[in-house]
Structure formats: structure tokens, C-alpha cells
Amino acid sequence: MMDQQLKLYIKGMVCDRCIAVVKSAMDDLGYKHTDVGLGEVTYMQQENKLNLEALAGRLTIFGFSILEDPKQRTLKELKNLVTEVYSGDYDFPEKFRFASLVKTSLNKEYETVRDIFIASENKSLEQFIIEFRINKVKELLLYSSLSLADIAFRLNFTSVPHLSTQFKQVTGLTVSHFRDIKRIKADVIYSHN
């Protein structure tokens, strides 16, 4: 795509010398006459794509770094958090709520984070968590000798029936049926994960 204006955000710029340094780094990569402000680079997409890695390498020498898109970063942090919480080893506090955990560990409002998630993933965060959790149930059923009660506890289901109901809802199978067929179907399910 030509003629597209793109923006980069750069950390560590504080004065006119910084601007000159960043400008010459862009120059070296074939992007002449770029508009550089404090912390911001605006450039037109050219035929040869700007090599971000090369730019980052050059800027690091001078003590700068390229900032990740804030939304992408939030998304990554959020997914990491889900992975951590529903790993099967998480120590759930009493009255655990994911929303309040988001607030304390990501320092952002749950509503904001949820909206970012929906906008870029095209499904709700709640749906994502449910799917992640059920996949974890499958994994534990297949690869561990934990009882269903143990699994329910480790993944913070309120009860075994709660787990079973949700499992049925998402997979269409009952837990016991899944267990019965697990050996035969193991390969198939594995490839679905």
C-alpha cells in the first residue's frame, strides 16, 4: 500500500539533538525527509517496507526504543494473565473475580480492556476465557490423573456440576463421554487445540 501515512512512537526523545539522531537513522534506511517530532515519527509507506528491526537496532545504540502499539501490548498482557490464572496451578483467593484482577495487575479498567479485546479479536473476553478454561479441562483430563473435583477446584469452577454443564455447552459432550472416548479421539482433540 503506497501513500499510506504511518506513525511510530519512540521512547526516550527529549530534545532537538534526539530528533536529529532519529532523522538520520530513518535517512540511513532510505526514508528521507521524514517528519520527526519528540517521541513521534510520521512517515509515508514506500515500496521497500521500513525495516523496523534494523531501525530498532540503530535506535538502541542511542538509548531509544520503539514503543509497541499500546493496544497490542494490552492484549498481550491480558492473554498472558488468562494463561497464568487458568494454568491449573493458580492459587485462587476467596471471591475471585477476573475483572478485579485485571484492575490490580494491569492497572486498567476492566471495561476498557474488554472493549479492546472485542475490537481486535471479534469475540468477547468472557467467551475467550470460557474456551480457554474448557480447553484446559480437556488437557487435564487427557494428560493428568486428576479427578474431576480436583480439576474443578484448580480452575475455580464453583462445583463439579458447574464444570460439567459448561463443558457440555462448549463441546457438546459430557465429561464422562469425553473420558470414555479420550483414548480413541486423543489425536483429533489434540490437533484442535
Binding site for another protein (CB under 8 A): 9, 11-12, 14-21, 37-40, 62-63, 67, 70, 107-108
Asked if 80 and 113 count as a contact pair (C-beta separation under 8 A), the reply is: no
Q: How far is residue 83's CA from residue 128's CA, in Å, rounded to a whole number?
A: 11
Q: Which is nearer to another protein, 63 or 161 (CB)?
A: 63
Q: Which is nearer to another protein, 6 or 20 (CB)?
A: 20
Q: Report the nearest approach of another protein to the CB of residue 73 (Å).
A: 8
Q: Which is nearer to another protein, 105 or 165 (CB)?
A: 105
Q: Report the nearest approach of another protein to the CB of residue 111 (Å).
A: 15
DSSP, res 96: -
CA dihedral 19, 22, 23, 28 (to 10 degrees): 160
Q: Report the nearest approach of another protein to the CB of residue 77 (Å).
A: 11
Q: Which three cell numbers stand for residue 192?
A: 484442535
Q: Report the nearest approach of another protein to the CB of residue 115 (Å).
A: 15
Q: How far is residue 168's CA from residue 149's CA, in Å, rounded to a whole number?
A: 16
- Residue written as grid cell 538520520: 24
- Residue written as grid cell 526504543: 65
Q: Which is nearer to another protein, 7 or 123 (CB)?
A: 7
